[in-house]
Amino acid sequence: MSLLSVEEARERILFHLRPITTETLPLVESANRVLAQDIAAANDLPLFDNSSMDGFAVRAADVVNAAAASPRSLRVVADIPAGSYPTVSVAPGEAARIMTGAQLPEGADAVVPVEDTNFDRRDAGTPAPNEVQIFKPAQPGNNTRPRGMDIRAGEVVLRTGRALKPQDLGLLAMLGIASVTVYQKPRIALFSSGDELLEVDVPLESGKIRDSNSYMLAALIEDAGADLIRLGVAKDSHESVKALLEKAVDFGADLILSSAGVSVGAFDFVKEVIESNGKIEFWRVNMRPGKPLAFGNYKNIPFIGLPGNPVSAFIGFEVFARAAIRRLGGMETTFRQTVRVRCEEQIDSDGRESYLRAGVREEKGVLVARLTGHQGSGNLHSLVQANALLIIPAGVKCVPAGKEVNAWLL
């Protein structure tokens, strides 16, 4: 069996996956959901020319020479609180009292803030004066927000694939969009496998260990924006694996994810069960940790078999399963941003694409990395202590101290 590159393995998986169905949700339920439509503005924003200050709407030409020592006196012809519609226009020598956000009246082209007038009061109850003294000059446009300055009608403001952020919801509401079409959350069926595995809360038995992967992977699945179907632990038997796979089918899973038993020969019964109703391939990926990987489908549900060692399972998730879940959920498949970090010590590698646990800190504007603890694929503690994965490219056997490599911040 030849080695697949990480890239090729990921491409082979993604090739088989398409975004699942969509649903339409009210705005209040759509935070973090992934848009399945482009959103174009139906109207300009702001909707109308309006004031950005409490003050007086004026004709700038009227107040070019205004100064504290020689104020310009204007007749106040209207009072325009927020939410009202100005019915009067402002003629030369006139002004209108206006509140922040209120629509600018015809004729006016600038707003003089109350503090630059002799009527420095904002309390809503106070009636507008008949006359106001302006202490400062204004240029056309001062303290106004013209219609359409932010968004023009027809402009596409959010695109398919965008996970909706809180500020996006605010913008959608501004645009009067009360519901959006989003991708359904993919449903991921998860199981662990192995006769050695015990639940977290039962007494230990000699030779057994606890199933830790399912807790870690469950959280990763939810973090990736999917819904979890927790299937538990499969024994190393045909019947047990078959029962769990059938459960995944019954629950309508969009993807089945398992950990362990993917090294050559170890998973024969899984191979047998899956091949009775689907397809499975066992790959050796040119990566460390996490060389063995299985991919296929059971009754047309895609299946990814991650390695059993906890760190390998974590990295296999980040490198393959997260991209798969994002594809199913309509998102771009890349997730983690790559940053450059400087290695504090020499790092030896074996030529596989290596994902190494490291602590990254900033020193004088440079990100500096040092490996954490034991790098064996069973040593979860070193992953807990890490805040980054250094990515040593395939073919590289030694990174000298002081050299920079790519990293994912966790």
Positions touching ligand AMP (CB under 6 A) are: 192, 194, 196-197, 209, 211-214, 259-263, 266, 307-310
- Give first-to-last CA distance, the chain, whole Å: 33
State both tokens at 141: 């446009």
The number of CA neighbours under 13 Å toward the Cβ of 409 is 10
What angle do the packed helices 238-250 and 268-276 form, to 10 degrees? 40
Q: Which helix (H) or strand (E) holds 180?
A: strand 179-183
φ and ψ at residue 333, rounded to 5 degrees: -80, -25
> 263 contacts which partner out of ligand AMP, Mg ion, none, CB within 5 to 8 A by kind?
ligand AMP
Nearer to ligand AMP, 217 or 224 (CB): 217
* Distance separating alpha carbons of residues 107 and 109, to the nearest angstrom: 7
Nearer to Mg ion, 29 or 268 (CB): 268
* Distance separating alpha carbons of residues 345 and 395, to the nearest angstrom: 19
Q: Does 307 bind Mg ion (CB under 5 A)?
A: no
Nearer to Mg ion, 92 or 265 (CB): 265
Closest-CA residue to 238 (of 267, 280, 196, 213): 267
Binding to Mg ion in span 254-283, by CB under 5 A: 260-261
Nearer to ligand AMP, 215 or 251 (CB): 215
State both tokens at 262: 């993917």
Q: What is the nearest approach in angstroms of ligand AMP to the Cβ of residue 391?
A: 23
Q: Does 194 bind Mg ion (CB under 5 A)?
A: yes
Q: What is the nearest approach in angstroms of Mg ion to the Cβ of residue 352?
A: 22
Q: What is the nearest approach in angstroms of ligand AMP to the Cβ of residue 253?
A: 19
> 309 contacts which partner out of ligand AMP, Mg ion, none, CB within 5 to 8 A by kind?
ligand AMP
Dihedral sign from CA coordinates of 195, 201, 206, 209: positive
Nearer to ligand AMP, 80 or 197 (CB): 197
Q: What is the nearest approach in angstroms of Mg ion to the Cβ of residue 194?
A: 4
Q: What is the nearest approach in angstroms of Mg ion to the Cβ of residue 333?
A: 29
Nearer to ligand AMP, 50 or 259 (CB): 259
Q: Which amino acid is at 382?
A: S
Q: What is the nearest approach in angstroms of ligand AMP to the Cβ of residue 292?
A: 7
Size of the site for Mg ion (CB under 5 A): 3
- Name beta bridge partners: 366: 363
- The CA R_g of the chain, rounded to the nearest whole Å, is 32
Q: Site residues (CB under 5 A) for Mg ion?
A: 194, 260-261
